[in-house]
Amino acid sequence: MKSICVFAGSASGLKQVYSDSAEALGSEIAKRNLSMVYGGGSRGLMGITADSALEGGASVTGVITEKLHDIEVGHTNLTSLEVVSTMHERKARMAELSDAVISLPGGVGTWEEFYEALAWNQLGIYSKPIVLFNVEGYYQELYDFTKRSVDEGFLPKSSLEEFFISDSLEDIFSFINSFETKDTKDWFKRLDRKEK
């Protein structure tokens, strides 16, 4: 495990604990001698996490679209900032550069990134640990909804084995470090709706 992809809001949220948790995540990434990949923004929880990781000595790579870069929301002090044409290219490049995914609180874009990462695991595009950093219970309902989808037969049981929800960074990194990569060649077996 060398590089963590962080999905996070471009807003900071209304509670100080969100910013504190973003700062703690960035610091923890640096402390564990990992690098960070994220969406390249300078604002909100995205910027806080990147700044904290950089301050701790971590290498931080941002991947941002031309449109967002042109309106000057891109972080200007990263180790590396890659500018791509589309959101799809942005997410694909972040996936290519990372070994695990951690989602901080955020809005629709963050949720969409999380679910696409989970879908790519399910489809065998890659096999990575996917984590919801459940600050103040922010993601509990999202997890419960995903679990209901499994219970109702719309997702395979393996989907719940491939992501983790916690408000503890210690537990989050323990999950990441103990994650066993699955053989993506057998992805179709994991789509069996009758899986127990």
Domain spans in the chain, listed from the N-terminal domain onward: 3-191
- Does 60 or 127 have the greater pLDDT score? 60
Distance CA 41, CA 24 (A): 18
- Indicate the class that CATH gives domain 3-191: alpha beta
Find how far residue 189's CA is from the centre of its chain: 25
Can you tell me the distance from the alpha carbon of 180 to that of 118, in angstroms, rounded to the nearest whole number?
A: 15
User: What CA–CA distance (Å, rounded) separates 113 from 110?
Assistant: 5
Average of per-residue pLDDT across 98-127: 93
pLDDT at 123: 85
Q: Which residues pair with 63 in a beta bridge?
A: 82
Q: Is the predicted pLDDT of residue 159 greater than 70, yes or no? A: yes
**Through-space distance between the first and last CA atoms of the chain, rounded to whole angstroms:** 30
In the block, tokens 């590396």 appear at: 80
Whether residue 180 has pLDDT greater than 90: no
Q: pLDDT higher for 74 or 139? A: 139
Q: Please give the pLDDT value at position 195.
A: 46
Assess whether pLDDT exceeds 90 at residue 71.
no
What percent of the chain lies above the pLDDT cut of 90? 77
